Amino acid sequence: MNRELALRMCEAAIKEAARTGALVSVAVVDAGGHLTAFQRMDGAGIAGPVLAPAKAHTAVAHRVATADLAPMVQPGGELYGLAGDRFVCVGGGVPLWDGEGAGGRVIGGVGVSGGTVSQDVACAEAAAALWETS
Amino acid sequence: MNRELALRMCEAAIKEAARTGALVSVAVVDAGGHLTAFQRMDGAGIAGPVLAPAKAHTAVAHRVATADLAPMVQPGGELYGLAGDRFVCVGGGVPLWDGEGAGGRVIGGVGVSGGTVSQDVACAEAAAALWETS
Amino acid sequence: MNRELALRMCEAAIKEAARTGALVSVAVVDAGGHLTAFQRMDGAGIAGPVLAPAKAHTAVAHRVATADLAPMVQPGGELYGLAGDRFVCVGGGVPLWDGEGAGGRVIGGVGVSGGTVSQDVACAEAAAALWETS
Amino acid sequence: MNRELALRMCEAAIKEAARTGALVSVAVVDAGGHLTAFQRMDGAGIAGPVLAPAKAHTAVAHRVATADLAPMVQPGGELYGLAGDRFVCVGGGVPLWDGEGAGGRVIGGVGVSGGTVSQDVACAEAAAALWETS
């Protein structure tokens, strides 16, 4: 992950948010889950600075989109109890892969928070799409 | 628990992981729940360094496999509310017993994280099997 | 604080860092001490994502530059004991004022981490200068 | 950082500890400060599992040996207040560099705890020496 790409990913997520009228925060983290860039749209709430980096970190830590973790941490799910302060298992976090299959590595992640879950997911995917074509 | 055995237990868990294509972290803790040895396979995610020691610690603290705690911490279960940052009640942690029945003592634990829950459980049991025959 | 200005403040801090060869992280927070924008230069360490927002938050919380807090939290100082995980009282955080004197309000803050303390302070002041002329 | 090298680094640190009669814990972390391998010598205390990973993480985060941070966080030092739960600024943690000068990157770290500070430092340097020649 580098700063220039991280900034463009933030912009891509915010562009998607603006399209649907959402007010979001966007975080981009590196392979260690540490923040590389963050932007909060004017008017977005104060949960975003907590949740966007946490979703991005969670996606990197578990190498899976947080939207895919969400059903697994529900009551009865096999990862019930995982969700909490440490890992935020709500849609809007996506890992960024370098390579596919067994040789693939997670090199960072994006997290979005502030809109509805589906808006957050769409914003994160818009940012990830930029990564995939970069 | 001693270091030489703990290292062999890590290797046993990793051998089992490699057999099923999982990428895991393995932690072995002592009777106080404190880390004795830890190994993360190349390519395994960064949640493992948090979750593998936590599963091992939880198994020692409650003297039960975390897979057995999982149903008990569900809504309606009698240990509901226990799962969280302090205790990780997802399968993959097992206590190590010295002796059986009322006279038995838990002398340590193993925790595995990184694969599916069933893979993690199998890896932890492979490590525990080494303990039982040592 | 708004996003567009926060981004320009990050750029101003980074420009100053580049001038002296420092590799820094820059955080801009709002009047509530919550992150508005963050950027980490390529090659900057992973302490920055923790310390830059913390310095900015500390500067807002105490309405004073963290460099001015530093001597006050020393043994014998009247704020001894304040420095810790909650407030980071090392130079590099500055509050942003709207108005002067009794009627002035702190509307945000900047925090920089990654260089020497004097480099961090210079970067934070470069960002604050942009605010003052905006 | 990879597991095979991390294990050899643990062994190198323990060999040095044995030479001077110290009982230590050794942690090797990756570029994100996350644990890759850990070993505690038989008889070593329970502070090691906390302090060895924390020293290694601190060395990576600040890109400097924790022994060099120690004087800076003393009362009157310019980083006073930094030492705490988050960063352990006691000798025994060293960063591992890939390349020198402006282009160098920290790719991991070693942390040792359990002996005197000078013993811990010697053990960490023995592990780092292995890295430098690998």
Predicted confidence band at B134 (pLDDT cuts at 50, 70, 90)? confident
A33: chain D residues, CB-CB within 8 Å: 32
Encode C69-101: b = buried (16+ Cβ within 10 Å), e = exposed.
bbebbbeebeeeebbeeebbbbbbbbbbbeeee
Size of interface C-D (CB pairs under 8 A): 45
Residue B133 pLDDT: 87
Output DSSP code: residue B97. Answer: E
- pLDDT band at D102, cuts 50/70/90? confident
Flag whether residue A106 sits within 8 Å of chain B, measured between CB atoms: yes
When pLDDT is averaged across residues D6-18 and rounded to a whole number, the result is 98
Residue of D nearest to A31 (CA): D32
Helix (H, G, I), strand (E, B), or coil: what is residue B76?
coil
| CA–CA dist D6, D44 (Å, integer) | 20
CA dihedral D111, D64, A50, A43 (to 10 degrees): -170
ipTM for the assembly = 0.96
Chains that contact A by 3+ CB pairs under 8 Å?
B, C, D
Check whether B96 has a pLDDT greater than 80: yes
Question: Which band of pLDDT confidence, cut at 50, 70 and 90, is reported for residue B103?
Answer: confident
- How many other CB atoms are found less than 10 A from the CB of residue D8? 16
Domain residue limits, chain C: 3-133
For residue C5, the distance in angstroms to the closest alpha carbon of chain A comes to 11
Do D36 and D96 touch, CB atoms closer than 8 A? no
Chains near C (3 or more Cβ pairs under 8 Å) = A, D
**Concatenated DSSP letters of C8-65:** HHHHHHHHHHHHHT---EEEEEETTS-EEEEEE-TT--TTHHHHHHHHHHHHHHHTS-
Residues 29-88 on B with a CB inside 8 Å of D are 30, 32, 34-42, 46, 49
Alpha carbons A30 and A61: distance in angstroms, whole number: 11
Distance CA B34, CA C103 (A): 55
Residues making up chain D, counted from first to last? 134
Q: What is the DSSP string of A68-111?
A: HHGGGGSTTSTTTT-BTTTB--SSSEEEEEES-GGG-EEEEEEE
Distance CA C20, CA B23 (A): 43
Contacts of C75 (CB under 8 A, 6+ apart): D75
Q: Which residue has the higher pLDDT, B133 or C124?
A: C124
What distance in Å separates the CA atoms of residue C58 and residue C71, rounded to the nearest whole number? 15
Q: Which residues of D touch C43 (CB under 8 A)?
A: 105
Give the mean model confidence (pLDDT) for residues D80-99: 94
Query: Which pLDDT does position B39 carry in this prediction?
Result: 98
> Can you give the pLDDT at residue A134?
80
Q: Which of A63, A20, A18, A14 is nearest to A37 (CA)?
A: A14
What are the pLDDT digits (tens) for C20-63?
Answer: 999 999 999 999 999 999 999 999 999 999 999 999 999 999 99
pTM: 0.96
Instruction: Tell me the C-alpha distance between D42 and D28, whole Å.
Output: 18
Q: What class has domain A3-133?
A: alpha beta
pLDDT at D2 over 80: yes
Q: From first to last of its 134 residues, what are the pLDDT tens digits of chain A?
A: 999 999 999 999 999 999 999 999 999 999 999 999 999 999 999 999 999 999 999 999 999 999 999 999 999 999 999 998 899 999 999 999 998 877 789 999 999 999 999 999 999 999 999 998 88
Q: Do A61 and B47 contact (CB within 8 A), yes or no?
A: yes
Band of pLDDT at residue B85, cut at 50, 70 and 90:
confident
Residue C79 CA to chain centroid, in angstroms?
A: 19
* One-letter amino acid for residue B61 of the chain: A
Residue-level pLDDT at D85: 87
Identify the residue among A40, A60, A107 best suited for mutation to test binding to C, counting C beta carbons within 10 A and taking the highest.
Answer: A40
Give the lowest-confidence range in A46-55, C81-90, D38-47, D114-123.
Answer: C81-90
Q: Name the pLDDT band for C74 (thresholds 50, 70, 90).
A: very high
pLDDT at B90 over 90: yes
Q: Where are the beta strands (DSSP E) in chain D?
A: 25-30, 35-40, 93-98, 105-113
Whole-angstrom CA distances from D77 to A6, A74, B124, D94 are 35, 49, 47, 20
Query: Is the separation of the CB atoms in C107 and C1 below 8 Å?
Result: yes
**Which residues of chain A does B117 touch, with a Cβ-Cβ cutoff of 8 Å?**
78-79
